[in-house]
Amino acid sequence: MPPAAELIDATKKYGEIEALKGVTIRIELGDVVAMLGPNGAGKTTSISLLLGLRKPSSGKALLFGLEPTNLRARSRVGVMLQESGVPAMLKVREIVDLFRSYYPKPMPRERAIAMAGLEEKANALVKELSGGQRQRLYFALAVCGDPEVLFLDEPTVGMDVEGRRSFIERIADFVQMGRTVVLTTHYLEEADQLAKRVIVIDRGVVIADASPQEIKSRVAGRRVRFVSPALNEKDLEGLPVSAVTINDHRVQLLTNQPEGVLRDLFRRGVEISELEVAGADLEEAFIVMTRH
Amino acid sequence: MLLRQTWAEFLKLWRVPAFSATSIFLPVVFYAFIGIGQANQTLQGTHVKFGAYFLASMAVYSVANVMIFSFGISVAAERGMKMDLLMRATPLPPLVYLLSRCITAIVFAALTLAVLFPFAYIAGGVRLDTSEWFTLAYRVLLGSVPFIGLGFAIGYLSGPNSAIAVINLIYLPTAFASGLFFPKQLLPQIIQNISSYLPLYRFGQLGWNAIGVPTSESIATDWLYLAGYGVLFFAIAVWAYRREESRKFS
């Protein structure tokens, strides 16, 4: 069986700008994938190629082994895009029914609306919805066809913390149904909470493709924090650290050998207080990986 | 799917009073102001009453108006709001989308006629043979097809905010120049010279001829003109669509 979605050595140029420089990604049914990367890294371009919204300049994009523009392939996919609009003069239930009619085996209208938490707005016109509600409507439209694969491009962008949290739960519900989810985000905690697999894209290249745990451990095992008023940069020379941030005497180091780092610091006579050693989180891993 | 899409397209337009009310009632208002007062006067050299003549004019005006506006404005607005992007990612076949639009426009056109015809019958005292009513209705609906192409072309070539202005700028003057509001003979000579080449004038000829106004040329010529304009407008629409395609989706 062909994979759900696949990019094979895909490149994409917009005029002179090379947005993707040979990306190969294979997404199997059942995968829950987060595509991470700074703005302009090529996440949205990758999704656009997989959905047939853009054509690769070279290489291939496939959905269920078919051209992404093939309607049979598309009928197995639900989509939530950044900055897309829907008709303002339709009611929520009308537009959900409209999108359901595009798919061969849609879920009941009420269920799609409930999954998005829009029960109370079912009879409201789209133009009356708030920004967050509109975002949830896009989610209802993405899931209403009961798709095997759900593509979400920056689904929580512009939401507040509470909105993001409840939205992540809704996506998690969909994952619970055993479906495939591909989402792009620059919120690392989202990737950490949802995804079983993280693909890090930077400047048009895949720089990591692994589980969140693996990525965390690969980059920097431990985070060492301490306060040192008299630290100078020479004190840190030659230490086995992958990232250093110094902020108002507060020092943070990422390292795979915290014991060795501390031994060297003490040997050099560096005064430290408030020492703290902890596992690095995905955010720190990410900063290290995409540091230019 | 086609039914749902058509219903949705219909609701989208119906709920914009700026479109639905103006396209359905404006022709009636024009008819009341211009047509009724002199409805019983007979047109020079014919047995046709002005009431019937102006009914044909307004039928042509309102149907072409629906075609250009419904396509022009909605295409431009949807491009502006990036609705086309999400639609494109769904399994909706483009042909269904296009068909649903055409059906909706024809339904709206039929609605305007369904209001205009009884109004002319009652208020303007227009009496036509059954066959004349039908000839007028079908000619007007069929002859409006080229204007669908024009609407699409404008929708793809102009911005979401300028579409209305562009359409008014093109449509209203040509409607006047084609003699839809005042008989062509009253227009300045220079405009009279141009007007025989305008698509709306040719469209008008079909309408006037349907209710018994003798036309100088055979109506086959008018159909031929409209067919030619249809090909031209659709060619421009396809070109504009492709241009957008290669810009946004390649």
Identify residue B118 by its one-letter amino acid code. P
CB atoms A81 and B91 under 8 Å: no
pLDDT digits (tens, 9 = 90+) for B102-160: 999 999 999 999 999 999 999 888 899 899 999 999 999 999 999 999 999 999 988 87
- For residues B207, B211, B216, B221, the Cα torsion angle rounded to the nearest 10 degrees is 40
Pick the closest to residue B57 from B201, B224, B215, B165 (CA basis). Answer: B201
pTM of the model: 0.82
- Per-residue pLDDT tens, chain B, 250 aa: give them: 899 999 999 998 898 888 888 889 999 999 999 888 888 888 877 788 889 999 999 999 999 999 998 888 888 888 888 888 888 889 999 889 889 999 999 999 999 999 999 999 998 888 998 999 999 999 999 999 999 999 999 999 888 788 888 888 889 889 989 888 887 778 888 888 888 899 999 999 999 999 888 877 788 999 999 999 999 999 999 999 888 888 877 7
Domain count, chain B: 1
Of B5, B12, B92, which has the smallest distance from its Cβ to A89's Cβ? B12
Give the distance, in angstroms, between the CA of residue A134 and the centroid of all CA atoms in the same chain.
20
**Residue A242 confidence (pLDDT) above 70:** yes
pLDDT at B79: 84
Chain A CA closest to residue B12: A89
Residues B61-72 have pLDDT tens digits of 999 999 998 888
With beta carbons less than 8 A apart as the criterion, state whether B199 and B120 touch.
Answer: no
Secondary structure of residue B49 in the 3-state scheme: strand
Q: Which fold has domain A5-214?
A: Rossmann fold (3.40.50)
B90 to chain A: which residues are within 8 Å by CB? 74, 79, 99, 102
Subunit contact A95:B89, Cβ cutoff 8 A = no
Considering only CB atoms, B88 lies closest to which of A53, A88, A141, namely: A53
Residues of A in contact with B1 (CB under 8 A): 101-102
CATH 3.40.50.300 residue ranges for chain A: 5-214
| Residue range(s) in chain A whose domain bears CATH number 3.30.70.980 | 217-289
- For B96, the closest chain A residue by CA position comes to A102
The CATH superfamily of A217-289 is YebC, transcriptional regulation domain (3.30.70.980)
CA quadruple A230, A233, A235, A236: dihedral positive or negative? positive
Residue of A nearest to B74 (CA): A87
Q: Identify whether the C-beta of residue B124 lies closer than 8 Å to the C-beta of residue B51.
A: yes
Residues of A with CB under 8 A from a CB of B: 51-55, 71-72, 74-75, 77, 79, 81, 83-90, 94-95, 97-99, 101-103, 125, 138, 141, 145
Choose from A99, A144, A152 for mutation: most chain B CBs within 10 A.
A99
B237: domain range? 2-248
The pLDDT tens digits for A15-62 are 888 999 999 999 999 999 999 888 888 999 999 999 999 999 999 999
Candidate from A52, A94, A103 with C-beta closest to B11: A94
